[in-house]
Chains A and B, each alone.
Chain A
């Protein structure tokens, strides 16, 4: 079958890093390539073959393609892997499923499970490099499971969520990113009436705004959005105030009626949800959160250089938000349906046009798009056997 495969190649990794740093696309010179591979074998009982229908391209995928990912992940991925963890696909019996990509204790055949998995916190699994599978924090980063950017992958019972008949593929492919946003909001204990600033209005930012509006009771949601389409969607999904990123501090000041000293707010937002994860966004988050406020880091940060003095002086809480609990998905399905998040899916590409797809995803905001996904619904391709 055809699959996009990411191989361990130091020269290509370096070339992708240089190309992306120079403004080019890492995909053209990096370790990712389209090739014919065998379908992954079922690792054991409870495992199923999933034939992807749609597979989204996520910010973390782009960081991987451009070789910008943190070295932190070196011990929790295995090569070669097929990327793609935002997946809606079919089981062999025709059941349509959304993949919960975290490869936690249950999928790895580890019993008894670690404390986190026992508590339902699959995202915090302590055994993601152990058990019956090669290391891999998620499907899409594990050599044994395959990934969504192909015509087949394998998934464990614990990773599958049946898609309601009424839900479109476009909606279903939004469930995984919606689950990330759902988890971020549910685990942040947003106080009722809080002023919440959301930095970034890509997929995660927009899903977070939707989740804030439906799963919490914030007083005011301020969204920082760079592009027109993002602004429109942010407002439509429930942001009360939508501003350009450079206007965020002024907007937060006004909404919180804060004072300002040398351009620094004396107060600020109760909670800042950083859906970008860059040095700039973290710096902005620290600048607009109130003393003793909380920054929830939803966007994948990588290695950044930030002055943490305000964090120390203002006793700010900086908390990460990665993945989800298994139960998060039920809520995420509802969130997608209620907020009509399928509208965030802007363009679909066949696997063969993967470079165009990745270019489009990398420039999505500028090109008036949000979520770009691969469309793998061609029956011809699906029935092809190696």
Chain B
């Protein structure tokens, strides 16, 4: 029986605490009286994954019929799947998507469905490469569909590929993939790494255009999403739900397949990352020392290669299929079952070590904007009820934050960093002054459509993702970050945690409470 998450009160006997520091690690001795929130141990994986998938397809939730009865010869079937941003790190083969899609295709073949197209639900993310698609879908699926052009990636900037389905009762444009919208059935294959994923967000966001996304990917919505991991208190999700229901009202049929994973995040050589420090064995300590010291001596490019090569041993803990909302309710419960940790009250200072990866730098570079988004957009939002840190409190993050960008994947990020953040870090001002010109820039659009670039507007969304935290926090400090980059983000650089705590005391007073979020593996703090 895996142990649940745990909140440790730091005392004098507590060993130094592990902090992620990008592609390196640090240990810090936290002040006595601090709290450390550890994620729950991994839930047991499903024993018969293929059997569970088949069971889910045959026993759908909500008012959906079993998948085989929705499949008929001569129909138009579109299978959409989550892109490279999930799961994190990418999982060991076979990927969940491959298993699910193979099961769906088997049933489609049995029913004589010929018109089948696969769409990577990119929204405005970068196009995946062939190796990435092969990894997600498996060689069999790739080789069956790619050569004939039936394995596609959403091009939300091709007007011929998109269909405007009208507006919601709140005036939100709903524009999604025409192929999907005109199909007899959409099967959406999802991976729910965190509670934010899935539900109506899968189709309403994953298959949508900028015209549609801007209705919920904006500062106001993100400031009122408290948190992004709590669908019922998230404006982002409320908007997606309106759009999803609008899509359903147009007669578009969606068969949603959602999966959840356990927190078995890192392979054996990094097993110390999955343990609580005081439980480290001699082998764990030696392993940590060896890994940490060799990483410190490794050139950064090689470090990136090592970390980006990590394939996670994530295991599936549930799979459910059928009607979108009914499915998502069960999925969310399963995510919570794995990730929720009860925490009593807020803290003055929240510390966190930021890892090397976020949804948008798989096989890429963690640039400073992504650092900000990972800390303020994602980790800050890993809460339910109330943020872990009190309003006006301080967030201290560990990350080297170099001024490094992937020129192919993140071209608009470079300009955003150099030209936008140089002028202002205020999300509202950025949105008003710069968003449209980046979103409609023909060069970014060209690179998004033909290369492997995130859309021109994507760095704005990263910054909006931070909007709630920026509004909530009194100060953000990055320990060990490149000072110029950190200042450009509008944050304060500190050389050591001690320096950071000293700086924080100007905001929260001399005897603050401190909580450390020990992630990843991921958790959701249920703050009472």
* Total chain B interface residues with beta-carbon distance under 8 A: 11
Q: Which A236-276 residues have C-beta < 8 A from chain B?
A: 241-244, 247, 250-251, 253-254, 257-260
Q: Mark A216-246, 1 if CB is under 8 A from B, else 0.
A: 0000000000000000000000000111100
B residues whose Cβ falls under 8 Å from a Cβ of A: 414-415, 418-419, 422, 437-438, 441-443, 446
Min distance, Cβ B140 to any Cβ of chain A, angstroms: 38
With a cutoff of 8 Å between Cβ atoms, the chain A residues found around residue B422 in the complex are 242-243
With a cutoff of 8 Å between Cβ atoms, the chain A residues found around residue B418 in the complex are 243-244, 247, 250-251
Instruction: Report how far A114 CA is from B441 CA in the complex, Å.
Output: 52
| Contact indicator A259/B419 (Cβ below 8 Å) | no
Q: How large is the interface on A (under 10, 10 to 19, 20 to 34, 35 or more residues)?
A: 10 to 19
- Residue among A241, A251, A254, A260 having the largest count of chain B Cβ atoms under 10 Å: A254
**Contacts A247-B418, A257-B442 supplied; 20 other A-B pairs, CB < 8 Å:** A242-B422, A243-B418, A243-B422, A244-B418, A247-B419, A250-B414, A250-B415, A250-B418, A251-B415, A251-B418, A251-B419, A253-B443, A254-B438, A254-B441, A254-B443, A257-B437, A257-B443, A259-B442, A259-B443, A259-B446
| Contact indicator B441/A257 (Cβ below 8 Å) | yes
Q: Mark A42-69, 1 if CB is under 8 A from B, else 0.
A: 0000000000000000000000000000
With a cutoff of 8 Å between Cβ atoms, the chain A residues found around residue B446 in the complex are 259
Tell me the nearest residue of chain A to B441, going by C-beta.
Answer: A257
Min distance, Cβ B417 to any Cβ of chain A, angstroms: 10
Min distance, Cβ A79 to any Cβ of chain B, angstroms: 47
Tell me the nearest residue of chain A to B446, going by C-beta.
Answer: A259
| Contact indicator A254/B442 (Cβ below 8 Å) | no
Instruction: Report how far A259 CA is from B451 CA in the complex, Å.
Output: 13
With a cutoff of 8 Å between Cβ atoms, the chain B residues found around residue A247 in the complex are 418-419
| Contact indicator B419/A241 (Cβ below 8 Å) | yes
Instruction: Report how far A257 CA is from B419 CA in the complex, Å.
Output: 14
With a cutoff of 8 Å between Cβ atoms, the chain B residues found around residue A244 in the complex are 418
Min distance, Cβ A266 to any Cβ of chain B, angstroms: 9
Min distance, Cβ A371 to any Cβ of chain B, angstroms: 25
With a cutoff of 8 Å between Cβ atoms, the chain B residues found around residue A241 in the complex are 419
Min distance, Cβ B164 to any Cβ of chain A, angstroms: 25
- Residue among B414, B419, B437 having the largest count of chain A Cβ atoms under 10 Å: B419
Instruction: Report how far A259 CA is from B443 CA in the complex, Å.
Output: 5
Tell me the nearest residue of chain B to A247, going by C-beta.
Answer: B418
With a cutoff of 8 Å between Cβ atoms, the chain A residues found around residue B438 in the complex are 254
Tell me the nearest residue of chain A to B434, going by C-beta.
Answer: A254
With a cutoff of 8 Å between Cβ atoms, the chain B residues found around residue A251 in the complex are 415, 418-419
Tell me the nearest residue of chain A to B444, going by C-beta.
Answer: A254
With a cutoff of 8 Å between Cβ atoms, the chain B residues found around residue A250 in the complex are 414-415, 418-419
Instruction: Report how far A162 CA is from B245 CA in the complex, Å.
Output: 77
A-B CB contact pairs (8 Å), 19 listed:
A243-B419, A243-B422, A247-B418, A247-B419, A250-B414, A250-B415, A250-B419, A251-B418, A253-B443, A254-B415, A254-B419, A254-B437, A254-B438, A254-B443, A257-B441, A257-B443, A259-B442, A259-B443, A259-B446
With a cutoff of 8 Å between Cβ atoms, the chain A residues found around residue B443 in the complex are 253-254, 257-260
Instruction: Report how far A116 CA is from B291 CA in the complex, Å.
Output: 76
Tell me the nearest residue of chain A to B416, going by C-beta.
Answer: A254
With a cutoff of 8 Å between Cβ atoms, the chain A residues found around residue B442 in the complex are 257, 259
Instruction: Report how far A260 CA is from B442 CA in the complex, Å.
Output: 10
Q: Which 10 A-B pairs have the closest CB atoms?
A: A259-B443, A247-B418, A254-B415, A257-B442, A257-B441, A250-B415, A251-B419, A260-B443, A259-B446, A241-B419
Tell me the nearest residue of chain A to B442, going by C-beta.
Answer: A257
Instruction: Report how far A253 CA is from B443 CA in the complex, Å.
Output: 9
With a cutoff of 8 Å between Cβ atoms, the chain A residues found around residue B414 in the complex are 250
Instruction: Report how far A247 CA is from B442 CA in the complex, Å.
Output: 19
- Residue among A243, A257, A258 having the largest count of chain B Cβ atoms under 10 Å: A257
Min distance, Cβ A139 to any Cβ of chain B, angstroms: 41
Instruction: Report how far A259 CA is from B411 CA in the complex, Å.
Output: 12
With a cutoff of 8 Å between Cβ atoms, the chain B residues found around residue A242 in the complex are 422
With a cutoff of 8 Å between Cβ atoms, the chain A residues found around residue B419 in the complex are 241, 243, 247, 250-251, 254
Instruction: Report how far A247 CA is from B403 CA in the complex, Å.
Output: 14
Instruction: Report how far A260 CA is from B422 CA in the complex, Å.
Output: 23
Instruction: Report how far A251 CA is from B446 CA in the complex, Å.
Output: 17
Instruction: Report how far A254 CA is from B420 CA in the complex, Å.
Output: 11
With a cutoff of 8 Å between Cβ atoms, the chain B residues found around residue A243 in the complex are 418-419, 422
- Residue among B415, B441, B443 having the largest count of chain A Cβ atoms under 10 Å: B443
Min distance, Cβ B112 to any Cβ of chain A, angstroms: 46
